[in-house]
Structure 1
């Protein structure tokens, strides 16, 4: 059995991949000379449902034809320790990703530096105790561990809220969470924020409470077009755009441009007979992209694949072709920021990853 087989198109969870369906769409690689740092992807072994480890991501990258120089692993509750204190189980994920990074850095698997940066997870609701676990993560991967993501995405609608382990409703406001959050800046660690658009006001309050902590908004701020939001998309877009502009006024906040292969925005690309082209995806996501880049500027925006989740919608080649179409009107220096430079800066990666090999 193909462990990446999607048993029926449209079936939850959204990250099931139908490789035969994806193979029905081919297109030429756009601007293959642009260096890319993929700022957000996952690795896991969830057989028989999904397998995505070093061979799988390298295959996607190598077959894409894009010049990916390095990647950043993002927390996905993968490879936690099975034994010992549950509070430190998350250290296992950092050790796992650091091992992948070391394998990649050996050069045995080619020039791409997978897991050059690691965004792990530490439960900040441990309060002051989170500092010890964060320090342990730094000690396990000092050259790669750059921050954490504690997913806060919650919504009353089950169509929107699809996390296997839903967080507390108002996690970002939790006093113990904030007590743990204090430990990030002294360790020069960032926080990746995954919320749905109605929660952006809570995120803004967190940003204002911690102006010295780098905060990276995931997936363009989680604008939802499903469930109760499907019938009022124009109103939702206006509310989301207003929140994005307010967040952009804070210079410690950065924006990840991606998540375009998820069902969340309310598009039906995964249910069509043919996968979408990069032109179709660019047209669909251009309004949101323009709001983000106009608000934050290219120097604070980062393209991300969100693979293998977004592989449910399109191939790696089509994904990055989409981003290149979205960025077509920008200068070479602005493209350099969007595709690699901002990621290198925010996650403190080697400067060489933002340059052609």
Structure 2
């Protein structure tokens, strides 16, 4: 893939007809309980992914997803009011999706059992106001915050509508906001490209009480000026992950590799890859995460509907189950649910 490939957009609309060409797969270990710890919901022009769309994907997959964590995506903000509080509209939207799920009409999974919302942590006193507004609006569901820190000198890589800036996580104002977040009992989802892993390591060491979750396996990048440099990217990514693993307050969301790792061009394939193909492509990144961080700091995520651009939902979970085939029952219990439950302090009691 080259830097001219125009497909690396976070909200690429999936082609349902193309996804339907996937070779049918029976779910592997279908009874294993799963908490999908990174699920988006949105309505962006012709790209809609709401509870009924997710319920359809889950039903087709045959996997036993018992709960989801809703991840902010910059949508459904309030149309007016103070600028720093408009993002609370997305939390209100997620709570509405959760209420629809609780009706039992769509799925048995507890949709948005936890919410990772957006807040700008650099705003001083307004940061606290935003966080407290999220907590109030979330009715006990807001468990974390994500503020994007992605930045790269290559405009092709950073040009994904993601408003990161250089060194955000090392900024003193951000650090003060992270302290406020931590004092409120929330986790922080860190979103970076793989060359920025040292910034997360520094952040974690500077804020040892913060619960930090690095999304998308540390986001190794394989396009733009990283194209054709697979060995270099892998070595740099692995070195960064080894240093990061020494920070006991850091956890990893496995998966989410479709768009940025760019191991296949889903616009040109005749049909989606099988779970075996996907496992072959992603195993070199997912296995080291489990080995370095341990099952008690890893959580499996499907990253839908972003990764739906290239694979069906069931294929993602079969891929994970192929890669974790050699894990013990306790390790699987942690990777597929318990780590997410503990890190996000989910209340799943009946």
TM-score, scaled relative to structure 1: 0.92
Q: Which residue of 2 aligns with 1:134?
A: 131
Instruction: Please give the per-residue CA displacement for 1:249-293, whole angstroms capped at 9, x wherever unaligned.
Output: 11110000011322x113124131121000001011111112111
Q: Which residue of 2 aligns with 1:30?
A: 28
Matches within 5 A, 1:30-179: 30-48=28-46, 50-179=47-176
Whole-angstrom CA distance in 2 between matches of 1:208 and 1:333:
29
1:38 positional shift: 0.4
1:196 aligns with 2:220: no
Instruction: Please give the per-residue CA displacement for 1:175-202, whole angstroms capped at 9, x wherever unaligned.
Output: 2222211111111000000100111111
1:294 positional shift: 0.7
User: Does the CA-based 8 Å contact 1:127-1:178 persist in structure 2?
Assistant: no
Segment drifting more, 136-145 vs 37-46: 136-145
RMSD: 1.6
Q: Which residue of 1 aligns with 2:270?
A: 273
User: Does the CA-based 8 Å contact 2:295-2:335 persist in structure 1?
Assistant: yes
User: Does the CA-based 8 Å contact 1:104-1:110 persist in structure 2?
Assistant: yes
Whole-angstrom CA distance in 1 between matches of 2:199 and 2:8:
28
1:242 positional shift: 1.2
Structure 1, unaligned stretches of length 5 or more?
1-8
Whole-angstrom CA distance in 2 between matches of 1:54 and 1:340:
20
Matched residue SS, 1:51: strand
TM-score, scaled relative to structure 2: 0.94
User: Does the CA-based 8 Å contact 1:225-1:266 persist in structure 2?
Assistant: yes
Whole-angstrom CA distance in 2 between matches of 1:107 and 1:143:
20
User: Does the CA-based 8 Å contact 1:119-1:147 persist in structure 2?
Assistant: yes
Q: Which residue of 2 aligns with 1:6?
A: none
Whole-angstrom CA distance in 1 between matches of 2:89 and 2:147:
16
Aligned length: 343
1:228 positional shift: 1.8
Whole-angstrom CA distance in 1 between matches of 2:72 and 2:333:
25
Runs of 4+ aligned structure 1 residues displaced above 4 Å come to none
Matched residue SS, 2:325: coil
1:110 positional shift: 3.4
1:221 aligns with 2:208: no
C-alpha spacing 1:11/1:251, structure 2 compared with 1 (3 Å): closer
Q: Which residue of 1 aligns with 2:286?
A: 289
